Chain A
Amino acid sequence: MFVANAMPLRSFVFWAIVVSLHLKASILLAEQADGEANARLKKTAARRVVDGLVVFYDFSSSTGSIVKDRAGVGKPIDLKVEAMSSVRRKAGSLEVIGDTLIGSDGSARRLSTVIRRGGEITIEAWVKPANTRQAGPARIVTLSRNGSNRNVTLGQDGDRYDVRFRTTSRSANGLPSISSPRQSVQPKLIHLVYIRGRKGQAALFLNGDRKVSGQVPGATSNWDDDYKFALANEWGGGRAWRGTYHLVAVYKRDLSPREIEQNFRAGPNANSPAPALAKRDLRSEHFQTKIAPLLAHHCLECHDSTAQQGGLDLSKKRKALAGGDSGVAIVAGNSADSLLWNTVDSDEMPHDRPPLSDREKRALQAWIDDGAAWSIQQIDPAIYAHSGQENQNWLRRLTVPEYIESVKSALGVDITSEARELLPRDLRADGFSNTAYNLNVDLKHVESYARLAEIIVERVDVIAFARTFSKRQRFTDKDMGNLISKMGKRILRGPINEREIIAYRGISTTTAGSGGDYEEAISHILEAMLQSPRFIYRIENQVGDGSLEPVDEYELASRISYIVWGGPPDDELVRAAESGDLFDSQQAAAQVERMLDDSRAIEHSSRFVAEWLNLDRLGSLQPNRQRYPDWNPALAGDMREETLAFFHDVVWRQNRPLADLLNAQVTYATPRLAQHYGLQGQGQVIEADDDLLRYDLTTDPARGGILTQGSLLTVGGDEASMVTRGLLVMHDFLRGVVKDPPPGINTTPIPTKAGLTQRSIAMDRIGNSNCGGCHAKFEPLAFGLEKFDGLGAVHERDEHGNDLRQDGQILVPGTAKPVPYQSIAELMDLLAKNDRVNQSITWKLTQFALGRPLVAIDAAAVEEIHRVAKRNGGTYRSLLKAIVASDLVQMTRTEVEQVD
């Protein structure tokens, strides 16, 4: 217990000298603190906790009316003293001697938003109350609008400290509050800390000791972003507090008892945390963000583990530093003696490629001169494929399928046909058509959304729909507002605020004023909701201090449901979100499991595989009639259905690891496709009314696995190009990076003829010094597919009578030794077992889930997703659960709010 015994000045000076100059300013203040506390203060000169800090006031200025927010994150929330005659300022403290308010100029939106979203907080204050009588409670720290509306307030109520905290289970005034025990307040310097965690656990710490614990249940979704931040009084007055401030801080998370102790030990006069926040491992960051991408783009084409031209492998730290045939390439600290630098500086390297820009050269030289810090073990060019897009955070417009599903879920209307007809197609970018940056909007979209909203509402029994939210069919503000609030929450995938209610209420008012009835009013409100940004887009908060922040419960629910279903959350998921269950990893996993048993999950997985493998391409297949006179255009559709049914079999029917897609000995074919393929045996009827039959391929030497299906084999065109097929395997299954040929190379494909097969042409390319460096990486991947013609039929000889083979070797990106194979089946087994293939599927599904290309800063999280999923069987289910549990879904990277 904090006891009011003053510490002798003598002891204090001794402590200050021994401990740290850092706490020098604490000497005079701690004079008034009790012995026990000082004893603990003396132990260490702790550095303050900075992780999660939102605002920080150290009262370091002795003059002026402004109290600076020195957190150094985001737009500062500076405070202004209303009545300077009521305060006395010294460097490191501000004493309130009369009634005043020290408040923000406008709303403290940044603060409210981050707490509202995260649901957790720490309020910390080093203060000295002037007396033990002030009450109300008298406001020490408040984030509020007036005496009865607040987000949170830390105050003094006589001899207790009191905290009011608004949640959906607490009043707008934050009641009931949490109070410290009687006689907690003394006119002494004290360290006050209030914490509230995401699951409702709250506590009050005095001088580092937990004095009271309890639950403040509910969500913080009802926090108001417009409230202002203040010290020493309530907005509107009447709750003045007198005493001395030494430090006030608010964190966006609940600090642990250890961290609270740490801050207590740091004392009341800790320096501004900004320098600490800025302290990072700059050299490590520099390598990862500047040098590794540079090496990946310019050097690894020839100097990775596979090519190792000149014996130099620059993809791995140890090998890069060891050098190549010409000796040491990198002399740390000395660019002048570094072969790498000298060849780059003279433009000798990159060979046959454009030289590095001046800026890149400067960066490379500086890195070497600065010690050539190498912070990762191996550079994977694939993770730098989208460098430059790290800082772009695009909100996601609903894709056409998502729009259809969202309408169906919210209103029970199937708008598939009309939506597909009216809405412009979503175009593919970076391999998927749900890539957020490419989901732009044209006039046609706006027109279609308006028209579709009309059609949808025409199909809804509006009265019955409204009745599910409110029985009172009246235009009164209260009843209509209540209906709008509940209906809006369903349709817009989360609670709607007062501003929105007023906007929709305006429509009902206009309708009523025009003689319209209740049904008409609701119809128009629904039309407006269906066109609102909160329906058309997945709106999330993206503003903060520039760091990763947890998404709020509704954002998380939406993220999960659109990832698993391609549609909005259902009631059960919303319930789990509102109760906080979704923030619990096990309960969240249980929710995902539940959702995966829903047919929507299966449909969405089909969208994934169709996008990943670009199955829509089959719709425009136009093989040359002379070359393929027996081609039936219906086969293209059969091939698409084959791949989708095969995927369904492996993923859903058998729940096998995704890697089995490469070598599962089963396929599905219509009789027409079975004949085209020459499949042996009788197909098994799975669905009575389905044309597709299931074929066991265990005795078929040529087929088995997704790469042996026409949907992928046709990518090689009429000529069954080994280049195109090899690149497909390389890009989509091995996440390899291969660049276009250097200038001056004749890339005209050479036609086959008697004595010249695709393989022998490919071997010539591989043997060519200009081509082989890259072609050796991907063309052998297609050697095993040589027996398949351009339309996926198997032949032992080509049209010129040349024998076709199926042996070859694969060279996995990042490795040096090719692995030989003798048959198609052996190739498929090699691929299925290869972890790089497994990783690639993880990357693809993660990209599809997030709706954006993955960049270097995602790599660690994706690696963790892969590891967790693999440990749990490597199935689609395990992968989706790992994705949902990852920071890529649980967190969002915020942008710093623009300073006016």
Chain B
Amino acid sequence: MKTSRMSRRTVLRGLGATAIGLPLLEEMIVSESRGAIQSAVPERAFNVFFGLGIPAPLQSEGFDGVLEPLKPLREKLLLLRNVDQVRCDESGINAHFDGATGAFTAEPPQGEAKSGGASIDQVVRRTYHPNGLPPGMVPTLVAGTFFRRSRVGRYVHSYNDDGTVAASMQERPREVFERVFGSVNLSRGTDVRRDRLKRSVLDSVIDQYRFYTGKNSPLGSASKSRVTDHLDRIREFEQRAYEMKERPQGAPSLPPVSQLAHGGQADPGGQGIDMRLADLTAEWRLMADLYALAIELDRVRFGSITFLAAGERLRLTGDYEYHGRLIYQFDDAKELNASGDLGCSHEWWHRFRPEKKNTQLRAHAHMKMREIAYFLSRLDESKDANGKSILENSMITVSTESGDGRHNDPQRELSGVFHAISGANGRFKTGQIMDLGREGLDLYNTMLDAMGAKDYLGPVDRERRLVHSIRA
């Protein structure tokens, strides 16, 4: 797969003679960006996750080490070291899937596929859109390029209040495209009468779902919230099915079919898979482009994106270059002299020793930062009405699962978890690296407080300890 960046113009160039019909929402094709024509900058919140973490000693090297790729964005980010997710550090914790669930929620999980509470993006979403997003928007977009699965917490990073996932994971670029820009696959034609009858069917379906979300519903709160979600999806379906124009010239093109492993093939029993760096970054960047485009066109304001899962297991090969400089030639299995899980890059984290060079881990972590920076840079290219970039205006939180690369920190695995946040339209300081020495819960609640959220994370009786030092 060719490594190429998809600009908005590229996407909008269209397919010409391609027969794939992809009607667009009206607001999408008539405006550069819905946000751009609004006087007010919309509130947005996104969680950006990368797998396996950055050992705390390497974070202390600042931009001279593995964080180098973030350097061009340093004025627009606040790098936070020494953030502890100790609330998630329950007895017998698994730093990978349990720790990852704590990213953006600061709570230990409640079940294999549930977090311990809402993620910060969803708290902000609920604050600003308690009755749902404006028509045509995707309420929450969850996407990512990842392979290790086994547990949802490894790769999903947007959660509802009740700990269930806030939206289904879109793990292929084409899925993201269809989720954000596609029309629904309803057999429609030019027969107005037939459409009217189909609409009548849908109206009846909506009425039924509405009943079960109403005051006479026989359902309990969890079930009602599930049916409410379903109703929201039906309304989205309705909008796409009946209120879209046919695809005009210049509509986005459908991304190519992914060539990488997905589903069960991507995670053969935790044994890891072979992966070429070029293939990995090509798919990720396509994903990142589409996600950024969705934000730029104001189709998405909340959600999360994942670059490699918690505890990811890849046997990576390929030359890793940064700005024309060869950083490393990856060949994990060969260097580790092992197959299966033991031949995966994950093992470099197991082997981390502060007193050693940790060359391979550094190269992998550097590469991850390069790709995270790629996504952030895409958000920095697009300006909102106030002249600032989307990156500057949004609450972007970058985090990961573990602060020590697992297994080698003498204290706890979830202490010193790397975080970086954007300015959120002047709410937070940027251009600094800060040693916070605070819990993730306090950091997140401070962010939510600054965003004007009504709800907070953590136990209701826990004293709220805001971290004023991060506020602008």
Is A524 within 8 A of B200, CB to CB? yes
CB-CB under 8 A from B216, the residues of chain A are: 109, 225
Neighbour of A748 across the interface among B165, B263, B347, CB < 8 A: B347
Which residue, of A388, A440, A515, has the highest number of chain B Cβ atoms within 10 A? A440
> Shortest CB–CB separation between residue B303 and chain A, in angstroms?
13
Is A524 within 8 A of B338, CB to CB? no
CA–CA, A508 and B241, complex, Å: 21
CB-CB under 8 A from B89, the residues of chain A are: 354
Given contacts A395-B226, A429-B112, A438-B164, contact A514 B237 (CB under 8 A): no
Over the window 218-250 of chain A, the binary record of Cβ atoms lying under 8 Å from chain B Cβ atoms (1 yes, 0 no) is: 000000010000000000000000000000000
Given contacts A627-B339, A740-B93, contact A503 B207 (CB under 8 A): yes
Neighbour of B338 across the interface among A225, A450, A751, CB < 8 A: A751
Is A514 within 8 A of B342, CB to CB? no
Neighbour of B113 across the interface among A429, A616, A751, CB < 8 A: A429
Over the window 71-96 of chain B, the binary record of Cβ atoms lying under 8 Å from chain A Cβ atoms (1 yes, 0 no) is: 00000000000000010011111110
CA–CA, A520 and B270, complex, Å: 52
Please tell me if B18 contacts chain A, counting CB pairs below 8 Å: no
Q: Which residue of B lies closest to A386 (CB)?
A: B111
At the interface with chain B, which of A83-91, A528-536, A810-818? A528-536
Neighbour of B264 across the interface among A454, A619, A739, CB < 8 A: A619
> Shortest CB–CB separation between residue A415 and chain B, in angstroms?
16
Please tell me if B193 contacts chain A, counting CB pairs below 8 Å: yes
Say which size band chain A's interface belongs to. 35 or more
Over the window 387-406 of chain A, the binary record of Cβ atoms lying under 8 Å from chain B Cβ atoms (1 yes, 0 no) is: 01100111101000000000
Given contacts A435-B113, A444-B168, A624-B340, contact A451 B186 (CB under 8 A): yes
> Shortest CB–CB separation between residue A501 and chain B, in angstroms?
11
Please tell me if A570 contacts chain B, counting CB pairs below 8 Å: no
CA–CA, A454 and B233, complex, Å: 19
Over the window 427-457 of chain A, the binary record of Cβ atoms lying under 8 Å from chain B Cβ atoms (1 yes, 0 no) is: 1111100010110111111110011001000
Please tell me if A510 contacts chain B, counting CB pairs below 8 Å: yes
Given contacts A109-B216, A395-B226, A451-B186, contact A717 B340 (CB under 8 A): yes
Neighbour of B226 across the interface among A394, A510, A534, A749, CB < 8 A: A394
> Shortest CB–CB separation between residue B211 and chain A, in angstroms?
7
Contacting residues of chain A (512-530) with chain B, CB-CB under 8 angstroms: 514-516, 520, 524, 527-528
> Shortest CB–CB separation between residue A51 and chain B, in angstroms?
22
Is B413 within 8 A of A622, CB to CB? no
Main secondary structure on chain A at its contact with chain B?
loop
Is B342 within 8 A of A751, CB to CB? yes
Given contacts A499-B211, A540-B218, contact A442 B184 (CB under 8 A): no
Is B350 within 8 A of A743, CB to CB? no
CB-CB under 8 A from A748, the residues of chain B are: 347, 350-351, 407
Q: Which residue of A lies closest to B415 (CB)?
A: A743
Please tell me if B265 contacts chain A, counting CB pairs below 8 Å: yes
CB-CB under 8 A from B204, the residues of chain A are: 503-504, 506-507, 528, 532
Given contacts A717-B340, A747-B350, contact A894 B237 (CB under 8 A): no
Given contacts A506-B200, A743-B407, contact A621 B208 (CB under 8 A): no
Neighbour of B227 across the interface among A225, A443, A537, CB < 8 A: A537
Over the window 195-211 of chain B, the binary record of Cβ atoms lying under 8 Å from chain A Cβ atoms (1 yes, 0 no) is: 01110111111011101
Say which size band chain B's interface belongs to. 35 or more
CA–CA, A429 and B89, complex, Å: 21
Which residue, of A427, A507, A511, A715, has the highest number of chain B Cβ atoms within 10 A? A427
Is A430 within 8 A of B112, CB to CB? yes
CA–CA, A159 and B203, complex, Å: 54
CA–CA, A633 and B38, complex, Å: 57
CB-CB under 8 A from A740, the residues of chain B are: 92-95, 98
Please tell me if B469 contacts chain A, counting CB pairs below 8 Å: no
Is A395 within 8 A of B227, CB to CB? yes
Neighbour of B236 across the interface among A386, A435, A443, A853, CB < 8 A: A443
CB-CB under 8 A from B164, the residues of chain A are: 437-438, 440
Over the window 37-62 of chain B, the binary record of Cβ atoms lying under 8 Å from chain A Cβ atoms (1 yes, 0 no) is: 00000000000000000000000000
Contacting residues of chain A (603-633) with chain B, CB-CB under 8 angstroms: 616-617, 619-624, 626-627
Q: Which residue of B lies closest to A540 (CB)?
A: B218
Please tell me if A655 contacts chain B, counting CB pairs below 8 Å: no
Neighbour of B200 across the interface among A510, A533, A895, CB < 8 A: A510
Q: What would 6 more interface pairs be, CB under 8 Å, given A510-B200, A617-B269?
A: A429-B114, A441-B226, A445-B230, A450-B184, A514-B196, A543-B218
- Which 4 pairs between the two chains have the least Cβ-Cβ distance? A739-B92, A429-B113, A624-B339, A542-B220
Can you sample 27 A-B contacts with CB below 8 Å?
A301-B91, A354-B86, A394-B222, A395-B219, A427-B113, A428-B112, A430-B112, A438-B165, A441-B226, A443-B233, A446-B184, A451-B185, A454-B186, A531-B201, A532-B209, A533-B212, A616-B264, A620-B269, A622-B265, A622-B268, A624-B339, A627-B339, A743-B95, A744-B407, A746-B350, A748-B407, A749-B341
